Amino acid sequence: MKAAEISQRETAPITGATAESASQRLVIAFTVSGLLFLLLPGTFLGVWNLIGIAREQTLVTIAPAWIQAHGQAQIFGWVGSFILGIGYYSLTKMKSQRGFPVVSGWLTWWAWTGGVLLRWLGGITGWHWRVLLPLGALLQLIGFLIFWRAVRRHRPAASEVESAAMPAWMMAVVFGTAMLFVVLAAQLVVLGRVALTASVPALPHVLDQQLVVLVVWGVLVPTIWGFNARWLPIFAGFDQANGRELRIACVLVAAGILATFLPWLGISACLLLTAAVLSIDALRVWDAAVQPARLQGISAGFPHFIRWAYAWLVISCLLNALAVVQDRSGGIWGASRHALTVGFVAGMVFAIGPRILPAFCGMRVLWSSRLMTASVVLLEVGCALRVTMEPLAYEHLWSSAWRLLPLSAFIELAAVSVFALNLFATLLQPPAHLSKQTV
């Protein structure tokens, strides 16, 4: 479809209930594809990799392409799809003259999902990888640019824009979104080079690790902070966020990422740790709540799940600092990364997802609040086991730790499966207004 046709279709505004149901269908698509990426290309492959590492008792025999394919599927395929879906849904809440951008939404979904899938298949199978890797990266970038254009065109009319400065939560989200563009553009360049010059479908190790820092700290962490600042006072009853501290935390993150690339790893570790601690203070995460949390239909543990996620953020930063001076075989780095991606990011999505996604997907009610609790508890146990055992095993400090590592993977696989089952079952239920239930 040509650009002129797309914009023509979108000038006939889709508003009101029609916009709501169009956006709900789109969020459902992003949620379902995100869950599928989480289950098979993401977690199952991660478990498979870990079993292989534990069997060989070393990280080096596992193909880097498989490790990178796992990370891609989790970050872009799962968390990225959720972010884009929620991003599109939030457009229905903006006071814009334009209708809901249905065509852009579906073009983004196709380009993004297809791009992540091609990149994953190229890495895993090696089939035509010199074409699939850059093509996948290009499609992801195109999907993102369509999303970006839709968001820009959706800004409220000038007369409705308040003169006040951009709130800190929005600044954190804009920062994360801008960094996503940087990551996707860098990924396209780097994978283009890999396709032309490398002998295997994988990035060189150091550059790969730097890009992991860029995407996790540059995109996921600030985006989570932004949404937390906006919604935790309402959902979890926390006090209003301190905007100044949140802005400083984002600046420290930017400096920490820059230091990673220089590479001044010690300075980077200190900056990221300071940013993490500051964010906890800014978001009032560990302060007493100032009003009751809104827990209808979800687990009563919700506010604690958020607090636990922030504990993992700090643990990850401490391990990162320790890794700078002590790591020999990747065990402490790995534990730090896992604490961040699983403990913080996945822990946060397991808590917030069941709170908001059922409502965004057609005012549904979460299928089971008990399963929500079970998924978070299993994730915490699995993550704790992995983060403790990985340094002991990889750094050759305690040989029995190798036997416990696969157990951690199975517990996390169970957690992920329960989370996905709960959301799939929720989506299979009729919307609340049809089943005469209230959210």
Interface contacts to ligand HEM, rule CB under 6 A: 43, 46-47, 49-50, 53, 59, 67-68, 70-71, 74-75, 79, 208, 212, 334, 337, 341-342, 345-346, 409, 412, 416
Cβ at position 74, least distance to ligand HEM in Å: 3
In the chain, the N- to C-terminal Cα span, in Å, equals 39
Please identify, using beta-carbon distances, which residue of 55 and 244 lies nearer to ligand HEM: 55
Cβ at position 33, least distance to ligand HEM in Å: 15
What is the DSSP-derived secondary structure letter of residue 159?
G
Please identify, using beta-carbon distances, which residue of 41 and 334 lies nearer to ligand HEM: 334
Cβ at position 140, least distance to ligand HEM in Å: 15
Cβ at position 120, least distance to ligand HEM in Å: 12
Where does residue 281 rank: exposed (0-12), middle (13-18), buried (19+ CB within 10 A)?
Answer: middle
Please identify, using beta-carbon distances, which residue of 75 and 229 lies nearer to ligand HEM: 75
Cβ at position 59, least distance to ligand HEM in Å: 5
Please identify, using beta-carbon distances, which residue of 43 and 320 lies nearer to ligand HEM: 43
Please identify, using beta-carbon distances, which residue of 237 and 354 lies nearer to ligand HEM: 354
Q: Are 241 and 282 in contact (CB under 8 A)?
A: yes
Please identify, using beta-carbon distances, which residue of 76 and 235 lies nearer to ligand HEM: 76
Cβ at position 211, least distance to ligand HEM in Å: 8
Q: Are 50 and 383 in contact (CB under 8 A)?
A: no
Cβ at position 352, least distance to ligand HEM in Å: 14
Q: Are 49 and 70 in contact (CB under 8 A)?
A: yes
CA pair distance 205, 327, nearest whole angstrom: 15
CA pair distance 77, 69, nearest whole angstrom: 10
Cβ at position 69, least distance to ligand HEM in Å: 8
Region of residue 297 (phi > 0: left; psi between -120 and 50: alpha; otherwise: beta): left
Please identify, using beta-carbon distances, which residue of 80 and 243 lies nearer to ligand HEM: 80
CA pair distance 204, 214, nearest whole angstrom: 15
Please identify, using beta-carbon distances, which residue of 219 and 275 lies nearer to ligand HEM: 219
Cβ at position 66, least distance to ligand HEM in Å: 9
CA pair distance 223, 207, nearest whole angstrom: 23
CA pair distance 50, 112, nearest whole angstrom: 27
CA pair distance 357, 67, nearest whole angstrom: 29
Stated as kind and residue range, the H or E segment containing 350 is helix 347-360
Contacts 24+ apart (CB under 8 A), 320-329: 320/269, 320/272, 320/273, 321/266, 321/269, 321/270, 321/273, 323/269, 324/265, 324/266, 324/269, 325/266, 326/395, 327/395, 328/395, 329/58, 329/59, 329/394, 329/395, 329/396
Please identify, using beta-carbon distances, which residue of 74 and 268 lies nearer to ligand HEM: 74
